[in-house]
């Protein structure tokens, strides 16, 4: 992995944080591959369900840290990125980290999978309450 690859992935993840904070769904979806998915709340959501999941979630600031990225081969990588979410109305915090897979596409690096892990006050690390979001039945 070159420095250019690392910078491109870091910018991809910065676009994720900025677009979700601003409510820019088109920009947010563009950081994923078309077959991408997001995992949280005990389930994995295909990209088609992601807009409804984001709409149902609290709004606020997604403050992300520098990701730790490992190259799998020339066109795939994995990474972990810390997150501090600040609710816009209450300024309550949620902390945790994303576990990601990345793939190089014709349009550059993209997220293929992103899985959220929350860190609880008791120190537990989990993916959230199952069924916290009512995903449409397929």
**50-78 pLDDT, tens digit each:** 899 899 889 999 999 999 999 988 999 99
The predicted pLDDT at position 38 comes to 95
Cβ–Cβ under 8 Å, residues 111 and 36 = yes
136: pLDDT strictly greater than 60 = no
Q: Strands, E, within the chain: which ranges?
A: 32-40, 43-46, 60-64, 68-73, 76-87, 93-105, 108-119, 125-126
Is the pLDDT confidence value at 49 over 70?
Answer: yes
Question: Which pLDDT does position 138 carry in this prediction?
Answer: 45
Distance between CA atoms of residues 12 and 32, nearest Å: 9
pTM for the whole thing?
0.90
Instruction: Tell me the mean pLDDT in the region 19-48.
Output: 95
Choose the most confident range, by mean pLDDT, from 13-22, 55-64, 122-131.
13-22
Mean pLDDT highest for which of 10-14, 52-56, 120-124? Answer: 10-14
The better pLDDT of the pair 51, 1 is held by: 51
Query: How much is the pLDDT for 137?
Result: 45
The pair of structure tokens assigned to 55 is 């709409």
**Higher-pLDDT residue of 137, 125:** 125
Per-residue pLDDT, 130? 63
Band (88; pLDDT cuts 50, 70, 90)? very high
Nearest to 80 by CA among 51, 54, 113: 113
């Amino acid at each position: 992995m070159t420095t250019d690859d690392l910078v491109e992935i870091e910018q991809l993840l910065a676009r994720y944080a900025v677009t979700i904070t601003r409510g820019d769904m088109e920009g947010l979806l563009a950081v994923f591959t078309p077959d991408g998915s997001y995992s949280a709340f005990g389930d994995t959501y295909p990209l088609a369900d992601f807009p409804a999941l984001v709409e149902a979630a609290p709004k606020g600031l997604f403050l992300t840290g520098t990701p730790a990225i490992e190259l799998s081969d020339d066109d795939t990588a994995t990474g972990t990125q810390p997150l501090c979410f600040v609710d816009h109305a209450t300024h309550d915090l949620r902390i945790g980290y994303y576990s990601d897979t990345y793939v190089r596409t014709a349009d550059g690096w993209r997220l293929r999978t992103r899985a959220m892990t929350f860190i609880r006050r008791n120190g537990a690390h989990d993916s959230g309450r199952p069924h916290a979001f009512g995903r449409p039945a397929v």
